[in-house]
Amino acid sequence: MFAGSAAFAQAAQCSCLAAIPVSGSVVGQLTNVQGDVRMSQAGGYTGVNGEAPVYSGARIMTGAQASASLVVGTNCAFNVPANVTVQIDPVEGGMCVSFDAPQAAVVPAGSEPGVLPVLLGAGAIGGGAALLLGLQDDDDAVSR
């Protein structure tokens, strides 16, 4: 009973719950490695210089100017940015892929930035400017 609740609690923190094929010990693939990318191995962390298989329990760390593409299972694909640690842990029903960075920093592979954040940012700047102009004392003699 407790094992199921622990697996559920961990799965609730997953960025993606990967469906894993029954056969084979490799659960994913790391590709498009650029910069300082390290992955945990039996003897500690080792550098990744290209493509590398990903195993259950792996930890992947990207350096300050590094990035990589990560695919786990049949349904989880991410572009991993700089300064992130990714954890791939077994949970009931598959592999939990989680990140130690703010969710906004981790972009699912294949997604494109939208126009909405740009419009919202521009609207906030324009609204702030309008507020400042409205509060400005322009010396109108209305109440003299």
Query: Is 117 part of any domain?
Result: no
pLDDT digits (tens, 9 = 90+) for 57-95: 899 999 999 999 999 988 899 999 999 999 999 888 789
Q: 5-9, 40-44, 101-105, 121-125: which has the highest mean pLDDT? A: 40-44
Report the DSSP pairing between strands 107-108 and 76-80.
antiparallel
pLDDT attached to residue 25: 80
Determine the structural domain holding residue 15 and report its residue range. 2-111
> Residue 47 — very low, low, confident or very high, per pLDDT cuts 50/70/90?
very high
Query: Is 141 part of any domain?
Result: no
pLDDT score of 4 more than 50: no
Mean pLDDT (the chain, rounded): 73
User: Domain tally for the chain?
Assistant: 1
Query: Is 28 part of any domain?
Result: yes
Q: Average of pLDDT values for 135-140? A: 54
Q: Average of pLDDT values for 23-52? A: 88
> Which of 15, 38, 41 lies closest to 94 in space, CA to CA?
15
Is residue 94 within 8 A of residue 18, CB to CB? The reply is yes
Query: Is 40 part of any domain?
Result: yes
Query: Is 30 part of any domain?
Result: yes
Query: Is 67 part of any domain?
Result: yes
Q: How far apart are CA 133 and CA 80, in angstroms?
A: 42
Query: Is 107 part of any domain?
Result: yes
**Under 8 Å CB-to-CB from 141, ≥6 apart: which residues?**
none
pLDDT score of 35 more than 90: yes
Query: Is 61 part of any domain?
Result: yes
pLDDT attached to residue 38: 96
